[in-house]
Amino acid sequence: MGQSRVQIQIMPERHFPVHSNITISRFLARKLGIKSHMIPIVFGSTSEMGSFDFHQRKNAIICISQQLASQLKITNQPAIYAHFDPKVPRLKLGPLLGILINPPPAENKDSVFGSMTRFLEECAHYGLAQGIRVAIFFPENIWVDKNSMIGWIHEKGKWKQTVLPLPDVIYNRITSRKVEQQENLQQKLKNLRYIYQIPIFNEMFLNKWQVHQILNKDEKMQQMLPETAPFTFSKLKEMFSRYSTLYLKPTNGSLGVGIIRLIRSQGKIIYQSATPNGTITRVTRTIHGIIRHLQRKVKNSSYLIQQGLHLATYEGRPVDFRVLVQKNRHGRWTMTSAVGRIANSQHIVSNLAKGGTLRKASDLLKELKHISNKPSLFHLKSTSLEVAQIFETLAEGHFAELGIDLAIDQKGKIWLLEINSKPSKTDDSIMSPSTSTRPSVYRLIEYTHYLTGLRGNSLSKARTKSATLTLQRRTSI
């Protein structure tokens, strides 16, 4: 297969010889391995016949007639890959990466995509540098029956809407469980996956109880999981007889919302509930008093009950670690970043949404001097990769990015708290915001290359020395 980064220029029909709708240099044709004058041209899910004319100028520009461009639903491309497969044969332009998101709140008028805007701009910019066209689209803009979609592309510093073919790869970044579970969207995704054979990764939210059941099948994972069960009042009484601290967590919760901590101490039971403004605390002397309150709190909700851990602390505040693992250009799991999260003194969880703070994982580990048998950063990394590999083996679905939450107890043991298939991409999840591209974007584009069959060495050296240094000094997700 011949492959080259090219520039696409759309031109009026009058600039083409009779019966031709695409012109390229003989130099580029030889590089790609094109010998015929009639070859199908493919962009995303569209395919149209190209009638080639060859010229002698030595360049990497492909000129396409306006009519052919309209049929392909392609615009001018300053940098995109062209790869020719002589066995089919066809000339493939792209890939086209589609990032599926839910529309931001209507009241957010400052940016098209709300808090996701900066991340998506980084994807578009780095995709362009690597010969990939990135398009952002909403569920309602997928037209499966028309083999197309309305997407947003970034050109000349602005986002603009245009009609595009269905993409080669879809990265699911929907952040609403309600939106993702809509029957209409699920049917569209099913058609895209099975009819159009489009890879869709991170295709679903993870349910905490389902994840626990999946990992509990593996003997090694069993040793890392806190005891967890669906919440019932009888289970609450039984677990309270064995543990002095219990956590109640919404089965489908995120960002620390709805978490309850129960502590049994000196003949009292302390109830603590996470709210946007801090932690509500109530004290009772009997389990029945707590049950009465919980009956109101967990009514009509699905909760899990989980063993409380004696976690390592920093300045008296519990800490845990979020490790981001992603698949790379070889389709293998690798660690992208690791950060330590320190709980806010007014909250019972470490989530940033609840006022937690970030530290470099390596720096925070150094501060935990009171922990015996303290694991190293390498140990956290290897544990996270093992968790990802085991989860992928046991779970259904296509995942290429996981936020893995680990904790260390007072004896230095590593515990697995949670796996998140939609780790945050907002600016407050970056430890050291800057104008450069975050490492998770590099991995995303690399994995798109892998899924679409682009050769590993085709990844441009556009990830320059400065970008590499940025990757080394930043810790972000």
For strands 38-43 and 96-100, give the pairing: unpaired
CA–CA separation, 472 and 401 (whole Å): 20
Whether 285 and 378 share a structural domain? no
Whether 172 and 231 share a structural domain? no
Please report where in the chains the tokens 């810790």 appear, as a residue.
475
Within 13 A of 156's CA, how many CA atoms are on the CB side? 3
Within 13 A of 263's CA, how many CA atoms are on the CB side? 12
Whether 233 and 260 share a structural domain? yes
Please report where in the chains the tokens 């009639």 appear, as a residue.
38
248: domain CATH number?
3.30.1490
- The residue count for the chain: 477
Q: What is the rounded (10 degree) CA torsion for 440, 446, 450, 454?
A: 160
Residue 381 CB neighbours (<10 A) = 17
454: domain CATH number?
3.30.470.20
Total domain count, the chain: 4
The whole-model pTM stands at: 0.91
CA–CA separation, 64 and 62 (whole Å): 6
Each residue's pLDDT expressed in tens, for the chain with a length of 477 residues: 799 999 999 999 999 999 999 999 999 999 999 999 999 999 999 999 999 999 999 999 999 999 999 999 999 999 999 999 999 999 999 999 999 999 877 655 567 898 899 999 999 999 999 999 999 999 999 999 999 999 999 998 899 999 999 999 999 999 989 999 999 999 999 999 999 999 999 989 998 999 999 999 999 999 999 999 999 999 999 999 999 999 999 888 766 678 889 999 888 998 888 776 677 888 888 888 888 888 877 777 889 999 999 999 998 888 999 999 999 999 999 999 999 999 876 556 655 544 578 899 999 999 998 898 899 999 999 999 999 999 999 999 999 999 999 999 999 999 999 999 999 887 655 555 565 899 999 999 999 999 998 864 445 444 543 343 333 334 445
Examine residue 368 and state whether it is found in any structural domain, yes or no.
yes
Whether 282 and 340 share a structural domain? no
Q: What is the three-class DSSP state of 1?
A: coil
196: domain CATH number?
3.40.50
Confidence at residue 436, expressed as pLDDT on a 0 to 100 scale: 81
Query: Which of 272, 307, 342 lies at the terminal end of a domain, its last residue?
Result: 307
CA angle, residues 56, 42, 454, in degrees to nearest 5: 85
Examine residue 221 and state whether it is found in any structural domain, yes or no.
no
Whether 324 and 467 share a structural domain? yes
Chain centroid to Cα 84, Å, comes to 30
Whether 157 and 303 share a structural domain? no
Whether 292 and 433 share a structural domain? no
Residue 267 carries which DSSP code?
A: T
Query: Which of 286, 307, 328 lies at the terminal end of a domain, its last residue?
Result: 307
| Beta strand residue intervals within 236-354, DSSP E | 245-250, 260-265, 268-275, 278-284, 303-307, 313-314, 317-327, 333-342
Examine residue 212 and state whether it is found in any structural domain, yes or no.
no
Query: Which of 166, 185, 201 lies at the terminal end of a domain, its last residue?
Result: 201
Whether 78 and 109 share a structural domain? no
Whether 293 and 256 share a structural domain? yes
Q: What is the rounded (10 degree) CA torsion for 283, 286, 288, 294?
A: 30
Examine residue 402 and state whether it is found in any structural domain, yes or no.
yes
Examine residue 441 and state whether it is found in any structural domain, yes or no.
yes
Examine residue 218 and state whether it is found in any structural domain, yes or no.
no
Examine residue 217 and state whether it is found in any structural domain, yes or no.
no
Whether 358 and 381 share a structural domain? yes
Confidence at residue 76, expressed as pLDDT on a 0 to 100 scale: 94
Could you tell me the two tokens for 305? 């009950």
Whether 271 and 316 share a structural domain? no
Convert 152-187 to b/e letters by CB count within 10 Å (16 or more is b): bbbeeeebeeeebbbbbbbbbbbbeeeebeeeebee
Residue type, 3: Q
Q: Which helix (H) or strand (E) holds 214?
A: helix 208-215
Confidence at residue 299, expressed as pLDDT on a 0 to 100 scale: 74
Residue type, 144: V
Q: Using an 8 Å Cβ cutoff, are 119 and 441 in contact?
A: yes
89: domain CATH number?
2.40.40.20
| Those residues with Cβ within 8 angstroms of residue 329's Cβ, 6 or more apart along the chain or in another chain | 446, 447, 449, 450, 456, 459
Write out the residue range of the structural domain in which residue 10 sits.
2-93
Examine residue 206 and state whether it is found in any structural domain, yes or no.
no
Whether 413 and 320 share a structural domain? yes
